[in-house]
């Protein structure tokens, strides 16, 4: 049943004219077996909303991973309980392939769930979330492969797994232990879904570009040109001198703002430093020792922001 659809990438309008195929398609959708990209996002949001999460919108700055989102970064630092979920666009300049390699993108989407404290039935909650997007763990092979996450730029690390569905990595599941150098208590759990992978699996597509975003438009149609242009920019056109200057300016501004207690705009600066660094790296302008130095620099900035936030939070708690 499912394979039938994989033969036909553009099922949409032609189906409407064919009564039998339409009901076939309808049935698949009814049982949530086949799901458009946008529906996967929607269903995950609905599912986690029901679990009590605030559904927030993506943070409007370039970042290499959802963990950079302030809800994740600051959210994990203090004892204040958190339950949020959001889609997060991630930019990895070095991963772009001019829109020519259908499985490598310079920009893609993660769906993040952040829960603190981590509920005892969190694994079951996660498995149920797969059901909500049509992937029944009882008939697939779901494997939890040891994968302890760490981010040298954020000075963060955690313990957890990457989760494989029939061999494909679809989720990173992490119990944060340290963020920005601070040992955490209580522990935050971070679930990061790879949305493109999930969609490819759900829709039986071999490439990201063939994923149906909705019934009529493919993922490729929406992003190919952007992939092409940004690859040119990141690999060939990005002005190295300017980028280096941006790194310095933002670093300085981050420090200044932290001193003034404005940790949120300061953290924006730290994120920018990280993104410009990633672009410099894609541009091939970073030597080995450069790399270590800049990463240490970003880690330090993240720690400054985190420290300022913790300080202010504690002061507020004390005056309550």
Partner 1 sequence: MNALLQIGTEHLPARFLRPALEQLKENAIKILAENHLKYNKLETYGTYKKLVLEIQDLAPSSEDIKKEIKGPPAKLLKGSDGKFTQQALGFAAKNDIKAENLIVKETEKGPFIFADIKIKGIKTEKLLITIFPELIKSLNFAKNMVWEDSCLRFARPIRSIIALYGSKIIKFEIAGVKSSNKAYGLSSFKQTPIVIKSPEQYKDALKNQIHPILVDIEERKKALLRSIEGCTRALGFSADLDEDLINETVNFTEHPIALAGDMSLSFMKLPKKLLTTVLKTQIKMFPVINKKGELQPHFIAVRDGVSVNQEEVKTGFKNVMTARLTDAVFFFENDLKLGLDNLRKKLKHINFIDGMGTMEDKTNRVKDLTASLAKILNFTNVDTENALEAASYAYADLASSVVYEFTDLQGYMGGVYAKKEGRSPNVSTALEEFYLPLSANSELPKTVIGALVSLAGKLDTLAANFKAGQVPSGSQDPFALRRQAMGAIRIILANNWPLSINKLVELSSKNLPENDNNHIAELPEFLWQRLQNILEEKQIKEDIIAAVKNFDIPLNKVLSNAEILTEKLKSETLQAVAEAAKRVSNILKQAQQNLPDLNTSLFKEKEEIILNKAVDNLPAKINDFAVELTNLSSLKQPIEDFFAKIMVNAKEQEIKLNRLALLKKIKDILSKTANLEKLKKRGQNENK
Q: Which stretch binds partner 1 (CB under 8 A): 55-63, 181-189, 210-218, 275-283?
A: 181-189
Question: Would you say 43 or 150 has its CB closer to partner 1?
Answer: 150
Show the binding pattern over residues 204-243: x = contacts partner 1 (CB under 8 A), - = does not.
Answer: x-x-------------------------------------
Q: Which stretch binds partner 1 (CB under 8 A): 69-77, 159-167, 215-223, 272-280?
A: 159-167
By CB under 8 A, residue 7 contacts partner 1: no
Question: In 3-state terms, what secondary structure has residue 182?
Answer: strand
Please compute Rg for the chain using Cα positions.
21
By CB under 8 A, residue 94 contacts partner 1: no
Question: In 3-state terms, what secondary structure has residue 310?
Answer: helix
* Neighbour tally for 119: CB within 10 Å: 14
Q: Do residues 282 and 93 lie in contact, with contact meaning Cβ atoms separated by under 8 Å?
A: yes
Using CB under 8 A, count the residues that bind partner 1.
Answer: 35
CB of 39 to partner 1, least distance (A): 20
DSSP 8-state secondary structure symbol assigned to residue 212? B
By CB under 8 A, residue 87 contacts partner 1: no
Question: In 3-state terms, what secondary structure has residue 105?
Answer: coil
By CB under 8 A, residue 138 contacts partner 1: yes
* Neighbour tally for 11: CB within 10 Å: 21
Question: Would you say 54 or 145 has its CB closer to partner 1?
Answer: 145
Question: In 3-state terms, what secondary structure has residue 43?
Answer: helix
By CB under 8 A, residue 261 contacts partner 1: no
Options 165, 198, 208, 257; binder of partner 1; rule CB under 8 A: 165
Mutual orientation of helices 263-282 and 288-319 as an angle, nearest 10°? 160
Output the furthest CA–CA distance in the chain (Å, rounded): 68
Q: Do residues 6 and 204 lie in contact, with contact meaning Cβ atoms separated by under 8 Å?
A: yes
Q: Do residues 85 and 91 lie in contact, with contact meaning Cβ atoms separated by under 8 Å?
A: no
Q: Do residues 201 and 24 lie in contact, with contact meaning Cβ atoms separated by under 8 Å?
A: no
By CB under 8 A, residue 201 contacts partner 1: yes
By CB under 8 A, residue 166 contacts partner 1: yes
d(Cα 102, Cα 259) in Å, to the nearest integer?
A: 45
CB of 55 to partner 1, least distance (A): 25
CB of 78 to partner 1, least distance (A): 15
By CB under 8 A, residue 137 contacts partner 1: yes
Options 10, 186, 261, 265; binder of partner 1; rule CB under 8 A: 186
- Interface positions with partner 1 (CB under 8 A): 2-3, 103, 117-118, 120, 123-124, 127, 137-146, 148, 159, 161, 165-168, 175, 177, 185-187, 201, 204, 206, 288
């Amino acid at each position: 049943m499912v394979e039938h659809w994989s033969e036909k990438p553009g099922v949409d309008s032609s189906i409407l004219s064919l009564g039998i195929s339409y009901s076939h398609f309808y049935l698949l959708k009814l049982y949530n077996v086949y799901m458009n990209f946008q529906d996967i996002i929607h269903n995950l949001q609905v599912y986690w909303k029901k679990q009590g999460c605030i559904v927030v919108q993506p943070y409007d700055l370039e970042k290499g991973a959802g963990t950079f989102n302030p809800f994740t970064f600051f959210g994990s630092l203090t004892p204040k309980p958190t339950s949020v979920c959001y889609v997060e666009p991630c930019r990895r300049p070095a991963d772009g392939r001019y829109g020519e390699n259908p499985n490598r993108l310079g920009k893609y989407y993660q769906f993040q769930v952040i829960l603190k404290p981590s509920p005892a039935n969190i694994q079951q909650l996660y498995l149920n979330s797969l059901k909500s997007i049509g992937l029944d763990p009882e008939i697939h092979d779901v494997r939890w492969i040891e994968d302890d996450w760490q981010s040298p730029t954020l000075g963060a690390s955690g313990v957890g797994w990457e989760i494989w569905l029939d061999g494909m990595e679809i989720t990173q599941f992490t119990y944060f232990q340290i963020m920005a150098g601070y040992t955490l208590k209580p522990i935050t759990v971070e679930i990061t879904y790879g949305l493109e992978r999930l969609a490819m699996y759900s829709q039986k597509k071999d490439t990201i570009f063939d994923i149906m975003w909705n019934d009529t438009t493919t993922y490729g149609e929406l992003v190919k040109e952007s992939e092409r242009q940004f690859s040119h920019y990141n690999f060939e056109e990005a002005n190295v001198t300017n980028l280096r200057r941006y790194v310095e300016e933002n670093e300085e501004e981050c420090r200044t703002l932290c001193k003034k207690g404005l940790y949120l705009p300061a953290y924006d600066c730290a994120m920018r430093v990280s993104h410009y660094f990633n672009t410099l790296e894609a541009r091939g302008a970073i030597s080995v020792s450069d790399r270590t130095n800049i990463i240490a620099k970003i880690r330090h900035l993240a720690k400054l922001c985190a420290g300022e936030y913790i300080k202010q939070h504690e002061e507020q708690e004390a005056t309550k």
